[in-house]
A and B are shown apart, each in its own frame.
Chain A
Amino acid sequence: MRSTSADLHTLTGAYAVNALSDGERAAFETHLARCESCAAEVAELAATAARLGEAVEFPPPAHLKARVLAAAAETRQLSPRTARVPRARGYGRAGALLAAACLVAVAFVAVQTVQSGQEKQLAQLSSQYGRFSDLLSTPDAKIFSASGANGATGTAVMSPSRNEMLFLGKDLPAPSGDRVYQLWMINAEGPHSAGVLSSPTSPLVASGVPGAQKVALTEEPEGGSPSPTGQVVVEIGLA
């Protein structure tokens, strides 16, 4: 995507009403970090859009309150943003990590809704979720994402200091028959299995592989394969 900065400036309105694609939003946020007048305009237009939101106020069902408060009590808050990251880069990174955090939460809710025994599941997921937020808030965490041919996207968050990777798929089609999605980390020696996704919407945390250059997702027979046999669904470069 090629945009001049004048083009980008006219996107303040579309950005404030969230009418940009993910790619454009990311490009615009990078621009925002450097453009003070744009940031001021976005702040005002976002506040204006919020008034449209307030105008359609409607109370949620009463039983949701106890559920939200209970979930909050089980959920660890993000650590406050530190000043260690240089500002211009930090803005984009923080935005991207927040987007990743959102994906985790989407996966979290998606899993929660299909499973029964919700209260127990919720407690389990909350503790997993705390682990993700720790990884996401690690200062050296870096985010990479890519799209596959069928519109599916994959996002990987790597933290060298924790030697961990978090993978999240979005819009992955259901694998055919008994097949499953298996994740691979690829370095100069070849692919190393990072594990099998328990469902297309489940996040996966794996240990890092030295010198990993790529992460790839393939469809494999149930239980996974020692080395990839299926077609690559999404491939994410780690550079």
Chain B
Amino acid sequence: MPKRERALQSIPPDVGLAEPTADDLLALVARGDESAFERLYDVVSGSVFGLIRRVVRDQAQSEEVFQEVMLEVWRTATRFDPAKGKAMTWVLTLTHRRAVDRVRSAQAASHREEHVARLDPNRPFDEVSEQVSGRLEQRQVRRCLSFLTGLQRESVLLAYYQGYSYPEVASLLGLPLGTVKTRMRDGLIRLRDCMGVTG
């Protein structure tokens, strides 16, 4: 133990023992720190790209959206308000919005058949089940998803992983609009409670 104490003392107290979090790094990025941006890239790029790839599906388009999002993180870091939430949430909210914008504009421009091909309500959960396996957090997400009712889970996952608007989800599931709105909210509230998310 004395050895460990010495090691701890050699680290200046303001540096801390843990790796810098996304929140620490984003605060530095907001001050124009390019090396912090590089480290932030290492921390968030897997989640950012994974989410885009899931929603957009096409590899080339996913790469485009990814670059666009990462640049947007750099450019708008100055507007991040730590009082309103965590850096990772901020980054992934921005990511999701861009990915969905891309899917919706592609959908507006593409053939009807491709649109119909996306309409498979069973797909999202199967794919999550298949990919979500290894890490602890991923197992937790999978476990918590299993506590939702079928309609709650489908409403949340069709919107989040496939970029459907709630009227599209309503028509896919054959439910009234109001029902889908409340299923999305109830489903997320149940997930929040299961995962112990505090915002």
Contacts and interface: CB of A to CB of B under 8 A. Distances in A.
B94 to A, nearest CB: 9
B199 interface: yes
Contact of B53 (A10, A11, A58): A58
A56 B101 contact: no
A13 B184 CA distance: 5
Given A48-B188, A51-B141, A80-B78, A59 B46 contact: yes
Contacts of B108: 151, 171
Interface stretch (B4-12, B13-21, B69-77, B115-123): B69-77
A146 interface: no
Interface string A83-109: 000000000001000100110011011
B92 A53 contact: yes
Contacts of B74: 72, 75, 77
Interface string A145-166: 0000001000000000000000
Given A58-B50, A60-B63, A77-B77, A45 B92 contact: no
A5 to B, nearest CB: 14
Contact of A65 (B45, B53, B188): B45
A14 B159 contact: yes
Contacts of B37: 69, 72
Interface string A32-58: 000000001001111111111111111
Contact of A64 (B66, B93, B189, B198): B66
B184 A14 contact: yes
B105 A50 contact: no
B68 A105 contact: yes
Interface residues of A, number: 59
Contacts of B77: 77
A16 B93 CA distance: 8
A228 B124 CA distance: 49
Q: What is the predominant secondary structure among interface residues of chain A facing chain B?
A: helix
Contact of A54 (B47, B71, B105): B47
A9 to B, nearest CB: 9
Contacts of A40: 199
B150 interface: no
B71 A102 contact: no
Interface string B178-192: 101111111111011
28 contacts: A13-B181, A14-B184, A18-B93, A18-B96, A20-B165, A43-B85, A43-B89, A43-B199, A47-B85, A47-B89, A50-B86, A51-B137, A51-B141, A53-B160, A54-B92, A55-B132, A55-B142, A60-B46, A60-B48, A64-B67, A65-B41, A76-B75, A77-B76, A78-B75, A101-B72, A105-B71, A170-B105, A171-B105
The 9 closest A-B pairs by CB, nearest first: A13-B185, A58-B50, A13-B184, A60-B49, A19-B159, A44-B199, A43-B199, A53-B51, A17-B159
